[in-house]
Amino acid sequence: MDRNSNTYTFIYAAGMVILVAAILASVAMALRPLQNTNIEVEKMQNILASVNIESTAADAEEIYTERIQTQYVVNWQGEVVEGEDAFDIDLKKEQAKDLEERLMPVYECQTEEGLKYIFPMRGSGLWGPIWGFVSLDSDMNTIYGANFDHQSETPGLGAEISTDWFQATFSGKEIFNEQGELVSLTITKPGQDAPEEHKVDGISGGTITSKGLEEMLLSDFQSYSEFLKKKKS
């Protein structure tokens, strides 16, 4: 057959596309379970990191089941919703819903320094989504630890939110002011006027990511606010 004829070209292209699609689809399906396990293990590591427990991909699952014994889902009024698995909640989907219908996971971890509550969060940075876990002391005010991650922030600038040194600056900060109002944290450059206990130094060159993080903390703490107040009193 003439290799330069239209018919040959069309048949060749069609055959190639079908073959390639079949190969890629079957590989993706075959590797899916392994990839999902990796994603779950990473999530466990991140949750553990927010209460300052280090883990590796190999032992994360074991440590997680040992340390995080209680996990549940609450609604905006702070009531526990039965029949939902906190770990399987997709934050992206939940945040697209109205606050009244939103399901919000809470994890409890017993540490050497008492019971800690872990809250997952999700927001937007400069280039894409950012997310993380923040843990509070049982006074529901003082931040015990934090872990953030991002999809595509600029390396060396916004991407620094996922580094240990930045996350370490969160512990000890308070999210309620003296009047009992939820003020969350201000993430700003040093010297800016904000009370020390509600302020974290932002990242030089990563202002938009820092602001995104600030908004994420505020809006997500707000959606948990009824739950926080309930536990607080």
Partner 1 sequence: MSEPLFSRKNLKLLSDPINDSNPITVQVLGICSALAVTAQLKPSVVMALSVVAVMALSNVIISLLRNTIPNRIRIIVQLVVIASLVILVDQVLKAFVYDVSKQLSVFVGLIITNCIIMGRLEAFALGNRPWQSFLDGVGNAAGYGVILIIVGFARELFGSGSIYGFQIIPDSWYIANGGFYENNGMMILPPMALITVGIIIWVQRSKNRKLIED
Nearest distance, CB of residue 189 and partner 1, angstroms = 19
Our finding on whether 24 is near partner 1 (CB under 8 A) is yes
Site for partner 1 in 50-79 (CB under 8 A): 57
For residue 95, give the amino acid letter: Q
Our finding on whether 163 is near partner 1 (CB under 8 A) is no
- Mask for 108-147, x = binds partner 1 (CB under 8 A): ----------------------------------------
Residue with tokens 């989907």: 93
- Token digits of residue 195: 């009370």
187: which strand partners? 200
Our finding on whether 22 is near partner 1 (CB under 8 A) is no
**Residues 147/170, Cβ–Cβ less than 8 Å:** no
Pick the closer one to partner 1 by CB: 23 or 80: 23
Our finding on whether 152 is near partner 1 (CB under 8 A) is yes
* Count of residues that interact with partner 1, criterion CB under 8 A: 24
Which residues, 6 or more positions from 70, have their beta carbon under 8 angstroms from its beta carbon? 107, 108
How many Cβ atoms are within 10 Å of 208's Cβ, its own excluded? 16
| Region binding partner 1 by CB under 8 A among candidate stretches 32-40, 90-98, 164-172, 176-184 | 32-40
Our finding on whether 25 is near partner 1 (CB under 8 A) is no
How many Cβ atoms are within 10 Å of 120's Cβ, its own excluded? 23
Task: Give Dmax over CA atoms of the chain in angstroms.
Answer: 84
Nearest distance, CB of residue 166 and partner 1, angstroms = 15
Which residues, 6 or more positions from 55, have their beta carbon under 8 angstroms from its beta carbon? 44, 45, 48, 49, 63, 64
| Region binding partner 1 by CB under 8 A among candidate stretches 27-35, 97-105, 134-142, 208-216 | 27-35
Q: Which of 14, 18, 31, 80 binds partner 1 (CB under 8 A)?
A: 31
Q: Which of 69, 93, 156, 230 binds partner 1 (CB under 8 A)?
A: 156
**Residues 49/147, Cβ–Cβ less than 8 Å:** yes
Which residues, 6 or more positions from 65, have their beta carbon under 8 angstroms from its beta carbon? none
Nearest distance, CB of residue 13 and partner 1, angstroms = 6
d(CA 199, CA 213): 13
Pick the closer one to partner 1 by CB: 39 or 96: 39
Binding site for partner 1 (CB under 8 A): 3-4, 8-9, 12-13, 16-17, 20, 23-24, 27-28, 31, 34-35, 38-39, 41-42, 57, 152, 155-156
